[in-house]
Structure 1
Amino acid sequence: MNRLQWLEKLGLRPGERAVVLHADDVGLCQATLEAYRRIHADGCLSSASVMAPSPWLPALAELCQRGDHDLGVHLVLNSEWSSFRFAPVSGLAAASSLVDAQGYFWASARDTHAHARPGEVRQELEAQIQRLRSLGLSPSHLDSHMLTLVAPGLLSIYADLGLTHGLPISLIRLSAEGLARLCNIGAEAAQRAHGELLQATAAGQVLFDAWAELPLNDAGDRFSHCQRLLGGLPEGVSLLISHPAVDAPELRALAPDWAARVADTCLHLDPRLPKALEAEGLKLLRMRELMQAWRELQPGAATGERFRAWPRPAH
């Protein structure tokens, strides 16, 4: 797919900049749902992604019965905290290589890379997409929790899932060295992942021009930090990631980085944020806009030949 055509479909001329303000980990706990509810009603946010293994997913689906929501699937293959764990939604018997001795997802991406069998990865991720659809949610994109899928053997599954379902995935154009730094994988693995990244773009997947993330290890002056990140975004389409949640006992008990997550909520509710976007000349885009522009430029998309078609479930 021609990238310049895609940018033009999004209303961007050469040299112009756009950003998707994106909230990760929605559904992690009730505090993330409340943050999303408040920001969706009164804040500045253009998209979010949802953790399908979360027990709070039905509550989120109920919240989304009203209003216009732009939600993707935050594909989960890891459960990183010792006292708060997620398990596969496809069933343990069908996902034995994806779990530790207690039946939960591996704690680290490195463990997943060492044990996971590709067939079971594909089956589990399909089940996570289907779980959202079964609750009436219509995904606008896919992304990867902890970037676990940006690794050799898994990146091709990630890209193909997007092509199969007609959904863009969260990837950026990077060299092998850039992938090694971003995903904390070895040089040889990064070279192989880079090859799969090139294959994904050749198959028609679109990539972001830049990817910025508000740090979870520093809850200091969030607005100033965000301003610096916005100012450094290049021309084209960028993704800026946050992890909003409201302050609550459950959040404090499970997440050592709870203060940064609460700070992200305050940022998205800050009336200065839309003005900062305007001052930087940044167009705010939704993932659903990216999805629609991408689909319209794919061969066979208009006739439904390229993507697996499904009816949007009624609420």
Structure 2
Amino acid sequence: MTGVQLVVRGDDFGMCHAVNAGTVEAFRNGIVTQVSVMAACPWFEEASVLAREFAIPVGVHQTLTCEWDFLRWRPLTDGPSLVGEDGTFRRTVADAKAAVSHAEVVRELSAQAGKLSAAGLDVEYLDVHMGLAAPAAYGEVAAAVGAPFIGAEEMFASAETLSNRDAADKKAWLLEYLHALTPGVHLLITHCAAAHPELGAIHRPGSDTYRWAEEYRLSDQAVVTDPEIRQAIDDLSIELTTVREAFRA
């Protein structure tokens, strides 16, 4: 027993079909242990069906932003501070943070958590999409839901994101990361997706977030389902786990 536990989170479940398909594959045949669901996104219904079918542990990917050019989503509630001129969420965390009302955020995020529950999903944790746009609201919503908020990563021995690294270096980085883990609970955040034309069609090339549309997701998918990564985890006696299991009282 090494005492090393690793939570591998798949983000953006429900965003689009490619993300749903890839994330399920990464859970079933890779190292992803839990997934964060976007209740306001257009492919939520498929995501909820898949999560129930494959018994995937889920959390709420609390969403107050939408970064894409051609894939836009709206709040579940009608708070005017939550949206830009087109009626959809704002594109950046900074823009959202400057505009949102605390009360409207709490109502929206509560609705997002409620949508998971109404779909028969057991909310195991809450986290955020892109960043902390409304810091005071997250803990309030989490307390009401009765699940931990993963935003202040002090609860983990370490917290890293796999995604925003060059594809050619990603596998080597992950192997080095696994070998360096110390006893405790660690968090690794991934963004998986299956290869599908829709990924390349949701955003204009050249923007700050363009690489997040397709490149980072496909390379994450390849690495987390790579048999050598799973073998390294087994060889190092790393325990793959979830937030609920790791912090069970």
Tell me the TM-score normalized by structure 1. 0.71
1:82 aligns with 2:69: yes
- Shift of residue 234, structure 1, vs aligned partner: 4.0
Of residues 149, 158, 177 in structure 2, which corresponds to 1:169? 149
Q: Which residue of structure 2 lines up, in the alignment, with residue 305 of structure 1? A: none
User: Is 2:67 aligned against 1:109?
Assistant: no
Q: CA deviation at 1:221?
A: 3.7
Aligned equivalents of 1:120 and 1:65: distance in 2? Answer: 30
Is structure 2 residue 12 aligned with structure 1 residue 25?
Answer: yes
For structure 2, list consecutive stretches of 5 or more residues without a partner in the other structure. Answer: 204-209
Q: CA deviation at 1:229?
A: 2.5
Q: Is the 8 A contact 1:172 1:210 kept in 2?
A: no
3-state SS in 2 of match to 1:87: coil
> Does the 8 Å CA contact 2:51/2:58 hold for their aligned counterparts?
no
Tell me the CA shift for residue 64 of structure 1: 2.7
Counterparts of 1:1-315 in structure 2 under 5 Å?
16-91=3-78, 95-149=79-133, 154-172=134-152, 207-216=155-164, 218-255=166-203, 256-257=210-211, 258-290=214-246, 293=248, 296=249
Q: What code does the residue aligned with 1:215 have?
A: S
Greater share of strand residues, 1 or 2? 2
CA contact (8 A) 1:31 1:245 kept: yes
Check whether the contact 2:185–2:246 (CA below 8 A) recurs between aligned residues: no
Total equivalences in the alignment = 241
SS at match of 2:168: coil
Task: Give the alignment's Cα RMSD to 1 decimal.
Answer: 2.0
Could you tell me whether the CA contact under 8 Å between 1:216 and 1:261 is conserved in 2?
Answer: no
Name which one, 1 or 2, has greater alpha-carbon Rg.
1
SS in 2 for 1:245: coil
Deviations 1:151-198 (A, max 9, x none): xxx323212222222211213456xxxxxxxxxxxxxxxxxxxxxxxx
The TM-score normalised by the length of structure 2 is 0.89
1:274: how far off? 2.0
- Output the amino acid matched with 1:213: T
2:12–2:191 Cα contact (<8 Å) kept: yes
Deviations 1:75-132 (A, max 9, x none): 00011122221210113xxx11111111111111111111111000100000100111
- What is the deviation of 1:52? 0.8
4+ residue segments displaced more than 6 Å: none
Instruction: Give how far 1:235 is off.
Output: 3.2
| Aligned partner letter, 1:64 | A
Alpha-carbon separation, structure 2, partners of 1:276 and 1:163: 37
Structure 1: state its 5+ residue gaps: 1-11, 175-206, 297-315
